[in-house]
Every structure is written in C-alpha cells, then in structure tokens.
C-alpha cells in the first residue's frame, strides 16, 4: 500500500529538467503600454519557443542550436534568434536577443530579456 501511495505522489513533485524561462521585449517597444512579450524555454535537451499561431511551445533539439560560452542561437528558415549574456562590472548579467536576417545579412530587431531559473515541464 505504501509503495502504491509513493507512486501516486512521486510524479507530482519530480521534474525532468531544470532550465530557464526567457521573456523578451523588443527594445523599440519598451515604453509602450501594450508591448508584446516573446516567450522561450531552454533546458539541457531543448530550446522551446511559443508559437502564437498554434498556441503552444515548439521544441528544437539543442544539437540543432549554435551554443557558445555566453551565446546561443536558433536558426529558422528566414532568420536567426541569437541570445547573448552581457556582463558588466559589479552589475547583474543582462540577456539580450537579436533577430538576424541571414539571407540579407542584417539585424531586424533587438530585444531585452528577463531570465528565470525554473523546472521545465512538458
């Protein structure tokens, strides 16, 4: 009986992966009252972005990302999203995201991001 109770309770407090939730706002729209927040999740196996058309998170395997010490990027058919950590002396690190049109070799938008450690649930 105790074993059955353990199996019922155990999944409710165990999480698969610790990761980060990333929320980004276009720097051009920071002062607007109705700015749009871009939502992402990043853990040890996947990068996830929120697809508004499908109203759900879409996963990209980390093996398909460009990952460096303080930078990672996800490539899509028309553009690339690059996330970078900026460290300043005696200040908390700041994350930014840039949307880069690699076909036309130009940056489209720059975003300021908020990062929170979390347990990622699928």
CA dist., res. 122 & res. 103, Å (int): 33
- Contact (Cβ atoms closer than 8 angstroms) between residue 41 and residue 122: no
Q: How confident is the model at residue 9 (pLDDT cuts 50, 70, 90)?
A: very low
In whole angstroms, give the CA distance from residue 45 to residue 16. Answer: 11
Q: Does 52 score more than 90 pLDDT?
A: no
Backbone φ and ψ for 33, nearest 5 degrees, come out as: -80, -30
Which class is 16-120 in CATH? Answer: mainly beta
What tokens appear for 32 in the block?
């607007």
pTM above 0.85, yes or no: no
pLDDT for 4 beyond 70: no
**Is 39 a residue whose pLDDT tops 50?**
yes
The residues, any chain, with a CB within 8 Å of residue 109's CB and separated by 6 or more, are: 26, 27, 28, 98, 99
């Amino acid at each position: 009986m105790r074993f059955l109770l353990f199996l019922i309770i155990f999944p409710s407090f165990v999480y698969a992966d610790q990761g980060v939730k990333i929320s980004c706002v276009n720097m051009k729209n920071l002062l607007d009252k109705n700015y749009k927040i871009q939502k992402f999740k990043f853990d040890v196996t996947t990068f996830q972005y929120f697809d508004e058309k499908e109203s759900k998170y879409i996963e990209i395997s980390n093996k398909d990302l460009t990952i460096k010490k303080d930078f990672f990027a996800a490539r899509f058919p028309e553009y690339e999203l690059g996330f970078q950590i900026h460290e300043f002396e005696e200040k908390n690190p700041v994350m930014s995201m840039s949307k880069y049109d690699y076909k036309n070799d130009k940056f489209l938008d720059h975003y300021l991001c908020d990062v929170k450690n979390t347990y990622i649930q699928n």
